Structure 1
């Protein structure tokens, strides 16, 4: 503090707020190299807005412009370096790392920032160990043991040089192999190179080196130095003596034989310098260069005419704003500028430890880390193509086609891989969950993409559809043929028995029943969906009601005991027609309500057949559809019961046995249909219903009319009233 005040006032015994200085004004201060001293200096210099540029102080608190308004630095702060380390870890796609931090302000701040940044990037922390600032063998041993048991290969290091070397030697001693350390400290790299056996521990370790500028012409300047050219420079003679290990002769001194005298013919070209401070010239060079550029900007600025005209009265605070705004490149191409906190916008070179031979390795330049010019919060990292990046993960990555399943009680980075189920996919690695394919697509065999579904329906052209079409047409043709036979032989006793008109209506309805499956084939449309179930229900209701009317006619005929009985009214043709009309009208009303409230419509079914999109008709209201089928089922069961009860009546003109058999086939087919229909999917559902329609139509047609056709065509001698009364045919 005393020296800083003396610098400000120009007096050996400084008086605050009093300046006694003559000559060229002092514009800025370069220093200090230690953060503790820089803090004290910056507090005092900040009161006077006196610019201070440090090239070595890295304490994060110096970025606070409220406390240190005039402090700037050409070295990245510790937190900036920590942020760079975390960004490198994120770029390497590590998800399972450990943190080794010094137990002081720097280590705690760096560890906290690293944990926060890595957590936001989805990286899990396997361990976070604090190394004490004082040497504690017990604590160090405990830390080394924990690191040896760790499963994380990547380790972020925020340590002092002493602790770095201490822990590295302990790890080498117990042969902890395969860890990859990431550190910003350049001296850490040097320590690793000189530590025996470090190559076994630090396989592929990464280091960050801040990209610094080199003093342009410094080498040539040193090589041109010679005491004879500047005899008044006492320091140069001492420098010469220390560099070449000689002594300049002095006439008053006695020279011993073992002392080497300097001849002046020595040459500094290619010679290493013994003074450590010489190596800091490159570090201090950017700080001096930024001040020089700020002075140049201040002098050439149009609105600083007074300062340009009278540099002898330049005030240091006038330099502060141009200094903060400097933005230039040094002769070697290094870009120098400050951020809003007065910190250098730093760029880093990325180094990696690569093995030369057994037990030896060196650090090579593998990439760069530059600030993003479009965003001050992000960095751009570029690695060479041939760089081998080690992996540090808790669980192996899940390949496309599978998703991550977290392990119970473990961090989210530890997971198991589960293949995606049918209908879902994962097209990237390490997806948290599988995505569902669109309805028109299905997942591939590998579950890594979706493929378009093939539309399918029960078409006329495919073998099954063609077979069903041929059967339906054949059955309809057979019904028409039977109807033609009945019309041809309409005056014979077999045709006239049991209401000839009902037989005609029944044959027509059976023909329509045989043709109704054609509505179930082909591509579903709005019209076909409206007609298929309703047509099937109505024509089958007409057919079953005709069978019911024929059965009731036979039963009533045998109940007549005397002429004029009331039962005779039920034997009239109008009574049978009324049964058919009323029964069919009820079904027509049910179908009308169904179509008016919630009619069937075309639908695409993606769940029935894998890889296919089944085009089908959705029945709309399930209640209405159940009522339509339920009414038809009740009508069929009632008809079967009446026919079954009348099976024991005399055989003459009695066809109830054939009616009973045909209704038994009808009821059996539709009883088997219900469970099959509800368990079938896709085209199988349509096939089951079409087959049931054809089978029940065949049962009614064959059970009722084939015996009569046999008599009419093959046994005409029995087609007489006398034969029917005495024979078994009805």
Structure 2
């Protein structure tokens, strides 16, 4: 074999395509004289689908494995290292165009963008032109990862281009047909330092390394190619011809040569030639065997073989070579090529090496077809760091990609996720909302569980409101006890004992109903909260309205001939309370039967919290009961205000007016405050309004009377009251059961 592993008896046949490297088999000397004349072409170059056309190339066989999956391996490498901004360089021919079309389609499916595409004119060999135009465009591009496709001859421009001494950082990915180690000088290896190349995966041929280590021109004196190669790479002479070149050392060995001069490892091309020679040998062996069999049988007509008969032998040849690989000449049955991913390293001492760092086996199961050892890769200018190979910096968690107008999808800006949304992965296209029971953290890259909260008696606010409700209810009960104990005194009789008892009992329930709003909402408490609140407050306001009406009727009815006397019935106050409260109870019953309140989890009112509260069910019904109470309170306030100037010995009009003013002020303030509050604040506002309005009624109407009853008992006698009335000139007849008597 010569330095490239080609047998010395093989000659190159005429090129039929740019990719056609073939062997022409001459007539064998044993069959000279016309006994056997045949010719066949076997391509040892890269596999070319065009050469598979048996109509155009009926006698041609391709020994190289199919590389139709090469583009898949290259894209797999891009996806593995998360490169998405790739430059493509290919030869300007059919094979280059096919590769570009296939790899672009595969890159598109995997979200990888093409930054630029350069086509190398196959016919161009001008060094100056390629340097000024071709290489300048590549080096000035923003892409840091370049894929190069083409064979050694067509990429001569790239291989011999004078790259700048301080190269721009690029990662070169070479395909299986380009020998990246070939270059004009030793010092130009740094230009491709750190490059990755897909090479045909070959088995080690037994004895090949020993043969290369022992080969010398003196051992093969008739091999002119070997002698010329030896003198060239060792820069010596077999005889002293000039002073610059010395005599070749007898201890010189191919093992000491750098990669750019000689590779001790059998390349994919040499391995293909090796299999080609074996295939021809097997075919000739079959020819000789067939000839011997026919000769023994006396069939002389079969002694002459025609050239077309050799094709059938080559087509059916299949064997295991000395390396243990199974070889099939028929390209229709040949398998896909397997690739070794090699890392080209140029050392500071100007030596270089190709180190295998991975494999790509297309026929392997998915997930096992691509393997690579990232830690073993030397990245050239990047040292141990992975080159970015992207158009835009990655958007971290908490950000999303914003496409740039007029740019490809790989070029984008990063924008923080909107409020309430997160992105937990790199380069997220969209942010997503957290589940209802979770909320985004400050970095907006993950969701945290929300804290479930509600107004509970265990917290200070809830405990304070509960104590206030219980305290006021006990105070009201104490007032009720005082009124019952002193029920026969004039001041109690004059204030209508029945209405006073009803009002005090309803106020007790008003204070206590606020406790329904404290604690975890349940279906039972939600059903009772608003209806109980509405009914007991309606009873209280109705009692005050009845009191106001009775006061007015009492003063107007004493006039002789007054028609108001007909309304002065002892049960008039009871009717007023029952009728006014009855309407409220009927509406609350309709509310509970149609759209009753229910417990719900409010996940939006407070950030990071789930508020458990009661949903009113029907907002209209809720505001209707408030409006109805407001209507009764406004009526009581109006009547009491009109009766404020009546004689005041037993006149409650002024106290009722002030109490209704407090009541209305509280609930008028409640509406906007309640609407603007969220979460527990809404419940707190309603509880405070209930306590404040109830305390206002208790304080304005009953506390002054208790003051007189308990601290000034002398003023609570009939004689004292008559004397006060006489001094004021008032005439008023009164009775606790509305049986009025005259007194002066």
Instruction: Normalising by structure 2, report the TM-score.
Output: 0.76
Deviation (angstroms), 1:396? 1.4
Specify the alignment match of 1:107 in structure 2: 96
Matches for 1:361-440 after TM superposition, within 5 Å: 362-374=353-365, 379-387=369-377, 388=384, 389-440=386-437
Gap change, CA 1:572 and 1:537, over 3 Å in 2 = same
Q: Does 1:511 align with 2:501?
A: no
Aligned to 2:532: 535
Post-superposition offset of 1:167: 4.7
Q: Cα 1:678–1:133, aligned 2, differ >3 Å: closer, same or farther?
A: same
**Helix, strand or coil: the match of 2:181?**
helix
SS of the residue aligned with 1:367?
strand
* 1:501 has 2:498 as partner: yes
2:659 to 659, 662, 670: 662
Q: Is the contact between residue 35 and residue 57 of structure 1 (CA under 8 Å) also seen in structure 2?
A: no
> What is the distance in 2 between the residues matched to 1:643 and 1:293?
126
**3-state SS in 2 of match to 1:152:** coil
Matched, 1:36 2:17: yes
**Partner in structure 2 of residue 16 of structure 1:** none
Shift of 1:526: 0.7
1:627 aligns with 2:627: no
- Give, in whole Å, the separation in 2 of the partners of 1:363 and 1:629: 87
Aligned counterpart, 1:118: 107
Secondary structure at 2:163's aligned position in 1?
helix
| 1:290 to 1:469, Cα distance in 2 relative to 1, 3 A | farther
**Cα deviations by residue, 1:290-342 (Å, 9 ceiling, x for unpaired):** 79999999xxxxxxxxxxx9xx999878778976xx7x976646676799955
Q: Distance in 1 between matches of 2:425 and 2:328?
A: 40
Q: Which residue of 2 aligns with 1:558?
A: 555
**Residue 223 of structure 2, aligned match among 231, 239, 245:** 239
* Cα displacement (A) at 1:90: 2.0
CA positional deviation for 1:41? 10
Task: Check if 1:153 corresponds to 2:137.
Answer: no
SS at match of 1:710: helix
Answer whether contact 1:154 1:179 (CA < 8 A) is retained: yes
What is aligned with 1:212? 202
Q: Which residue of 1 aligns with 2:84?
A: 95
The whole-number CA distance in structure 2 between the counterparts of 1:478 and 1:339 is: 108
Deviations along 1:497-539, one digit per CA (max 9) or x if unpaired, are 2322111111111100100111111111111111111111111
Q: What is the CA distance between 1:485 and its match in structure 2?
A: 0.7
Alignment match, 1:7: none
Asked whether the equivalents of residues 66 and 336 of structure 2 are also in contact (C-alpha less than 8 Å), the reply is no
User: More deviation in 55-64 or 390-399?
Assistant: 55-64
Residue in structure 2 matched with residue 582 of structure 1 by the alignment: 579
| Alpha-carbon distance in structure 2 between the residues aligned to 1:485 and 1:684 | 36
Query: Which stretch of structure 1 is more off in the superposition, 153-162 or 464-473?
Result: 153-162
* Residues 591-647 of structure 1: CA deviation (Å, up to 9, x unaligned): 122211221111112222233222111121222222222222222223222222322
Offset at residue 132 of structure 1 (A): 3.2
Match of 2:485 in 1: 488
- Cα distance 1:404–1:578, how it changes in 2: closer, same or farther (>3 A)? same
Which deviates more from structure 2 when the two are superposed, residues 500-509 or residues 436-445? 436-445
In 2: Cα distance, 1:123 partner to 1:453 partner:
39
Which structure 2 segments of 5+ residues have no match?
Answer: 1-9, 24-38, 231-238, 242-249, 287-296, 378-383, 735-744
The separation in 2 between residues aligned to 1:117 and 1:471, in whole angstroms, is: 74
Identify the range of structure 1 (418-427 vs 148-157) with the bigger mean alpha-carbon deviation. 418-427
Conserved? CA contact 2:89–2:147, under 8 Å: yes
5 Å-filtered alignment, 1:139-538, equals 141-159=132-150, 161=152, 164-167=155-158, 172-173=163-164, 177-185=168-176, 187-191=178-182, 194=185, 196=187, 199=190, 202=192, 204-218=194-208, 238-239=222-223, 243=227, 282-287=271-276, 332=323, 342=333, 344-357=335-348, 362-374=353-365, 379-387=369-377, 388=384, 389-538=386-535
- Where 2:104 maps in the other structure, the secondary structure is helix
Deviations 1:39-63 (A, max 9, x none): 8999xxxxxxx99864324323346
Query: What does residue 252 of structure 1 align with?
Result: none
Is 1:706 the counterpart of 2:703? The answer is yes
- Quote how far apart the aligned CAs of 1:446 are: 2.9
Change (3 A) 1:664 1:94: same
Please report how far the alpha carbon of residue 282 of structure 1 lies from its aligned counterpart in structure 2 after TM superposition: 2.8
Task: Sort the Cα spacing of 1:197 and 1:214 in 2 relative to 1 into closer, same or farther, 3 A.
Answer: closer
Separation in 2, partners of 1:674, 1:172: 80
Structure 1 residues 191 and 640: CA distance shift in structure 2, 3 A: farther
What corresponds to 1:22 in structure 2?
A: none
* Structure 2 counterpart SS, 1:643: helix
Paired with 1:317 and 1:546, the residues of 2 have a C-alpha distance of 119
Look up the match of 1:691.
688
Residue aligning to 1:17:
none
- Does the aligned pair in 2 maintain the 1:35–1:59 contact within 8 Å? no
Cα pair 1:95 1:393 within 8 Å, conserved = yes
Alpha-carbon distance in structure 2 between the residues aligned to 1:143 and 1:371: 33
Alpha-carbon deviation of 1:196? Answer: 4.7
Match in the other structure for 2:294: none
TM-score (norm 1): 0.78
Q: How does 1:673-684 map to 2 (within 5 A)?
A: 673-684=670-681
CA RMSD, Structure 1 to Structure 2 (Å):
4.6
Q: Is the 8 A contact 2:516 2:525 kept in 1?
A: yes
Tell me the secondary structure at the aligned position of residue 495 of structure 2: coil
Partners of 2:91 and 2:155 within 8 A in 1: no
Q: Does 1:80 align with 2:69?
A: yes
User: Kindly tell me: are residues 244 and 516 of structure 1, through their superposed partners in 2, closer, same or farther at Cα, counting changes over 3 Å?
Assistant: closer
2: CA distance between counterparts of 1:296 and 1:497? 139
Alpha-carbon contact 1:569-1:575 (below 8 Å) kept: no
